């Protein structure tokens, strides 16, 4: 019934994807053809159904699992930052070593020029303009000896920077937004490009589409195997549960207990006594990370759950969830 | 107080960063921007992966891999295309590759895709439990089930195109860029998909019930 090539235009017409003249042609046909109108209605029905019922929510805790999965990844670096790490194709560590070596040469050279590696005593006292400096080697040597006994060396002489290979192999960068602890710690060490590759877990072949990243070997957080300790990355959630059940707080307490969790009130006091009607409010629930999915699923049984976007990730084996029990109409 | 809605609207407009701004923040080292990107796209990515793979566990694996790939690649994202288009392309690539990978291993020779769980050599991921009650799909409405069943009748390409158009509301141009097919192909495949779906749905329910 919708086989004629012209009918392809019907879908495009429905989507507003036809040029004006083609659109007018379809409208003329529609005005004189009831069967075409019926076809259009069918297409509209399909579109409407898909748009209303086609979307699927990501599983409970999906976002936290993604953030945990990338917690071990190096901090994001943009192209210009990449360039800064390897200006002119030379690793920045190379420049650091060269600079340190240059400093050593300059400082040692100055010291030798000043005599026996000890600076003259007027080094740290600026000479007033026009004042003549009288050099007295014996006096300077005596004072210098005194300085060596009483003052820490670096204040008078910049110590040559010691750069060993270990230091040169890494560079430290500070990640802004320290509140997002899970993605990178405040000071995150980026391995040098010479560092061994991240172990790969699976290789999915890539093809086509050069602009978007092709599937790559996925490095997983280490220690996700059963029995490995602190491999779990906890997450802090905030969930709003709209419920018509006045005893939801009591149920929350029972659920938390079932999954090895603890419930505390906003002031941090642990709630152990049974809760009753009217106790719905905000609670903090700490559950073992491995029970997160089950606990989250059970939360959904209490009412409709809204995930707030301000998740925080912490490196721990337990998850703290703020649960806001909001009374809704039955 | 009466200005509160207006202030709220202004705040919502100003406070919600655009995709482009989020990418720039991420590239500048602000990791919280990534969290927002995941939040913004998780349902879209998961929907697309699920409609393609037709298995919750596999779809979640794919969706996680997509976001991990994005994390690694956003640093070099130049913004030539919209972030959404880019994300969808990554999903499509991952789904295609996953299907091809499994076909090469003859994993679908004896087992339907829907029944296959995690591959033996796939990485361990933190996946949601699919114990009773954990799967929201178990509680979905009859209409949602009908849509899922109807989509399952289509071939992969048709399914993707109709999902991108009628669920994700993308233009033919964007769909063509994502699927790497000409605009005319999008138009014809979309029409065939809708026609086929209309036939399936009409058999199951009357149009009045749906609308």
Which DSSP string do the residues of A301-326 spell out, in sequence order?
HHSEEEE-S--EEESSSEEEEEEEEE
Confidence of residue A237 (pLDDT cuts 50, 70, 90): low
Q: Residue A14: is its pLDDT beyond 90?
A: yes
Residue B199 to residues A37, B38, B194, Cα–Cα distance (Å): 16, 36, 9
Nearest residue of B to residue A215, measured between CA atoms = B94
CB contact under 8 A, A177 and B207: no
Nearest residue of B to residue A292, measured between CA atoms = B128
Residue A91 in contact with residue A193, Cβ under 8 Å? yes
For residue A65, the chain B residues in CB contact (below 8 A) are 64, 125-128
On average, the pLDDT of chain A sits at: 63
Flag the least confident range among A201-205, A315-319, B57-61. A201-205
Residue A312 in contact with residue A226, Cβ under 8 Å? no
More confident residue, A200 or B82: B82
Rounded to whole angstroms, the Cα distance separating B78 from B97 reads: 24
**Class of domain B136-205 as given by CATH:** mainly alpha
* Averaged pLDDT, A92-99: 72
For residue B22, the chain A residues in CB contact (below 8 A) are none
For residue A42, the chain B residues in CB contact (below 8 A) are 195, 198, 202, 207
Rounded to whole angstroms, the Cα distance separating A244 from A302 reads: 9
* Averaged pLDDT, A132-154: 48
The pLDDT assigned to B69 comes to 92
CB contact under 8 A, B101 and A218: no
The pLDDT assigned to B106 comes to 61
Rounded to whole angstroms, the Cα distance separating A10 from B188 reads: 10
The pLDDT assigned to A150 comes to 43
Rounded to whole angstroms, the Cα distance separating B182 from B164 reads: 15
Residues 6+ apart with CB under 8 A from A326: A240, A241, A242, A243, A280
Work out the minimum CA distance from A276 to partner chain B, whole angstroms: 24
Residues B149-193: tens digit of each pLDDT: 899 999 988 999 999 999 999 999 999 999 999 999 999 999 999
What kind of architecture, by CATH, is found in domain B18-119?
Orthogonal Bundle (1.10)
For residue B92, the chain A residues in CB contact (below 8 A) are 209
Following DSSP, what letter does each residue of chain B receive, concatenated? Answer: -TTHHHHHHHHHHHHS--HHHHHHHHHTT-THHHHHHHHHHHHHHHHHHHHHH--HHHHHHHHHHHHHHHHHHGGG---SS-HHHHHHHHHHHHHHHHHHHHHHTTHHHHS-GGG--S-TTSPP------STTT-GGGG--HHHHHHHHHHHTS-HHHHHHHIIIIIT---HHHHHHHHT--HHHHHHHHHHHHHHHHHHHHHHS-HHHH-
Q: Residue A17: is its pLDDT beyond 60?
A: yes
**What ipTM was estimated for this complex?**
0.77
* Averaged pLDDT, A63-72: 88
> SS3 of A186, please?
coil
> SS3 of A240, please?
strand
Rounded to whole angstroms, the Cα distance separating A141 from A171 reads: 41
Residue A270 in contact with residue A264, Cβ under 8 Å? yes
Which residue carries 């009831």 as its tokens? A34
Confidence of residue B77 (pLDDT cuts 50, 70, 90): confident
More confident residue, B116 or A55: A55
Integer distance in angstroms from the first to the last C-alpha of chain B? 39
Rounded to the nearest 10°, the torsion over CA A107, A113, A115, A120 is: -70
Residues A164-223: tens digit of each pLDDT: 433 333 333 333 333 333 333 333 333 333 333 333 333 333 333 334 554 444 333 333
Rounded to whole angstroms, the Cα distance separating A261 from A271 reads: 11
Q: Give Cα A101 to chain centroid, integer Å.
A: 36
For residue B187, the chain A residues in CB contact (below 8 A) are 8, 11-12, 17
Where does residue B80 rank: exposed (0-12), middle (13-18), buried (19+ CB within 10 A)?
exposed
Residue A184 in contact with residue A172, Cβ under 8 Å? no
Nearest residue of B to residue A47, measured between CA atoms = B166
Integer distance in angstroms from the first to the last C-alpha of chain A? 47
For residue A184, the chain B residues in CB contact (below 8 A) are 31
CB contact under 8 A, A205 and B101: yes
On average, the pLDDT of chain B sits at: 79
Residue A66 to residues A25, A173, A299, A306, B69, Cα–Cα distance (Å): 50, 23, 20, 18, 11
* Averaged pLDDT, B103-117: 53
- Choose, out of A4, A10, A11, A305, the residue to mutate when testing the contact with B (most B CBs < 10 Å): A11
Please list the residue range(s) of chain B that carry CATH number 1.10.1740.10.
18-119
Confidence of residue A86 (pLDDT cuts 50, 70, 90): low
The pLDDT assigned to B65 comes to 94
Smallest Cα–Cα separation from A248: which of A281, A271, A272, A297? A281
Work out the minimum CA distance from B137 to partner chain A, whole angstroms: 8
Q: Please state the length of chain B.
A: 211
CB contact under 8 A, B97 and A207: yes
Nearest residue of B to residue A17, measured between CA atoms = B172
CB contact under 8 A, A180 and B35: yes
Neighbours of A247 (CB within 10 A): 18
Please list the residue range(s) of chain B that carry CATH number 1.10.10.10.
136-205
Percent of chain B with pLDDT over 70: 73
Q: Residue A158: is its pLDDT beyond 90?
A: no
Quote the DSSP letter at residue A278. Answer: T
The pLDDT assigned to A127 comes to 38
Domain residue spans in chain A? 5-53, 234-327
């Amino acid at each position: 019934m919708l086989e004629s090539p012209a009918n392809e235009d019907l879908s495009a017409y429905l989507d507003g994807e036809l040029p004006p003249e083609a659109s007018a042609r379809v409208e003329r046909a529609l005005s004189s053809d009831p069967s075409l109108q019926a076809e259009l209605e069918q297409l509209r029905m399909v579109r409407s159904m898909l748009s209303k019922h086609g979307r699927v929510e990501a599983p409970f805790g999906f976002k936290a699992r993604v953030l945990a999965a990338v917690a071990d990844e190096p901090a994001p670096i943009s192209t210009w930052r990449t360039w800064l790490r390897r200006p002119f194709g030379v690793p920045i560590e190379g420049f650091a070593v060269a600079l340190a070596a240059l400093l050593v040469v300059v400082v040692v050279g100055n010291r030798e020029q000043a005599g026996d590696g000890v600076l003259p005593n007027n080094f740290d006292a600026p000479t007033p303009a026009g004042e003549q400096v009288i050099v007295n080697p014996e006096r300077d040597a005596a004072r210098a000896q005194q300085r060596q006994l009483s003052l820490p060396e670096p204040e008078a002489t910049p110590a040559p920077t010691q750069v060993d290979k270990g230091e040169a192999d890494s560079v430290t960068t500070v990640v802004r937004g320290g509140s997002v602890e899970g993605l990178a710690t405040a000071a995150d060490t980026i391995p040098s490009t010479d560092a061994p590759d991240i172990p790969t877990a699976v290789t999915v072949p890539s093809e086509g589409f050069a602009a978007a990243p092709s599937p790559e070997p996925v490095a997983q957080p280490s220690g996700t195997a059963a029995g490995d300790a602190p491999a779990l990355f906890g997450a802090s959630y905030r969930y709003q549960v709209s419920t018509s059940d006045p005893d939801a707080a009591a149920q929350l307490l029972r659920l938390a207990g079932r999954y090895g969790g603890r419930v505390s009130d906003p002031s941090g006091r642990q709630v152990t006594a049974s809760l009753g009607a009217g106790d719905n409010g905000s609670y903090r629930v700490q559950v073992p990370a491995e029970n997160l999915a089950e606990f989250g699923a059970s939360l959904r049984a209490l009412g409709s759950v809204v995930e707030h976007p301000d998740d925080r990730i912490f490196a721990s084996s337990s998850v703290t969830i703020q649960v806001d029990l909001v009374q809704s109409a039955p | 107080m009466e200005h509160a809605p207006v202030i709220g609207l202004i705040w919502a407009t100003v406070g919600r960063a655009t995709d482009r701004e989020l990418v720039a923040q991420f590239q500048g080292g602000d990791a919280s921007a990534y969290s927002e990107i995941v939040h913004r796209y998780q349902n879209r990515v998961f929907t697309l992966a699920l409609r393609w793979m037709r298995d919750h566990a596999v779809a979640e694996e794919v969706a996680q891999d997509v976001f991990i790939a994005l994390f690694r690649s956003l640093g070099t994202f130049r913004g030539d295309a919209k972030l959404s288009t880019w994300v969808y392309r990554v999903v499509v690539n991952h789904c295609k590759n996953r299907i091809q990978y499994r076909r090469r291993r003859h994993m679908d020779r004896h087992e339907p895709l829907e029944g296959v769980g995690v591959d033996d050599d796939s990485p361990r991921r933190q996946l949601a439990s699919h114990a009773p009650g954990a799967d929201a799909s178990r509680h979905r409405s009859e209409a949602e089930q009908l849509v899922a069943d109807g989509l399952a009748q289509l071939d992969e390409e048709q399914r993707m195109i109709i999902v991108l158009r009628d669920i994700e509301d993308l233009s033919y141009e964007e769909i063509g860029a994502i699927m790497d097919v000409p605009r005319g192909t999008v138009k014809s495949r979309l029409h065939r998909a809708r026609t086929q779906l209309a036939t399936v749905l009409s058999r199951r329910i009357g149009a009045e019930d749906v609308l």
